[in-house]
Amino acid sequence: MDEQKYKNLKLGERGAIISIMAYICLSILKLIFGYMSDSTALKADGLNNTTDIIASIAVLIGLKLSRRPPDQDHRYGHWKSESISSMIASFIMLAVGIQVLRDAITSMFQEEKVAPDMLAGYVGVFSALAMYFIYRYNKKLANKINSKAVMAAAKDNLSDAWVSIGISIGIFGSQFNMAWLDTVTAIIVGLLICKTAWDIFKGASHELSDGFDEDKIQHYHDVIAKVEGVKGIQEIKGRNYGNNEVIDVIILVNENLNIHDAHDIASRVENVMIEKYGVYDVHVHMEPN
């Protein structure tokens, strides 16, 4: 099973590399045309894509580190490297988001704003289409390999597509004597960057602090309770190592069972969770009912 998981991480790197290449090209394109057309919103989106480059690189590094096997001081492996990289990326994204907001708000108090060139709007439309197709690819890849990191990258691709569409609308709208619309759009982009940074930070910190989905742990509780021989559940806990779930459960069994029969019950619990629900590892402790 470990070998297949490591192969899936290798496949996930392909999605991260494609995202990096796309963001590099689009950020250069947007920054060049943003300055040429004097579009605050397009320049903000270009800076947004530079943070996406960093985030995608973080995902790539995390996937590579996660593929390293357990060693002397990492007996559980390096699965959490993805979460650490994501948290670092969130700090960088937050810094850029604040910078975009500062520049946009400052531009509001400058001389009368001139509507940007229409070409900037077409660049936004092109970028939105490009990011949508990359989103479709990464989403399909994430579902195939069951990767939270790649799925997060896909969602980021989709949000970038929507941001580019919004920027295009703002630029086209600014042509109708609403030049201020370009600046307003830039502020919205800055807020979206900050929100994305917060979402990434929240998810990474939740996982690194051993947080686990309450609904899922309740579902696992109900599944284990129905396993033959289990008389009750005293305690159940869950944690994540990257995309791998680890469950710790204390089950109650008949106190008159011999050690072999009790062990068979524990094995049934492990098999159900691993084979039917894809749990990476299950630690079962038994107590007499």
pLDDT digits (tens, 9 = 90+) for 46-80: 888 888 888 788 888 888 887 787 788 887 778 78
* Residue 203: CB atoms within 10 Å: 17
Exposure letters 240-271 (e unless 16+ CB within 10 A, then b): bbbbbbbbebebebeeebeeeebeebbebbbe
Q: For tokens 């609308």, what's the residue?
A: 169
**Beta bridge partner(s), residue 74:** 71
162 against 247, higher pLDDT = 247
State pTM to two decimals.
Answer: 0.74
CA dist 28 to 47, 50, 278, Å? Answer: 9, 9, 42
Predicted confidence at residue 204, as pLDDT, reads 83
Predicted confidence at residue 2, as pLDDT, reads 59
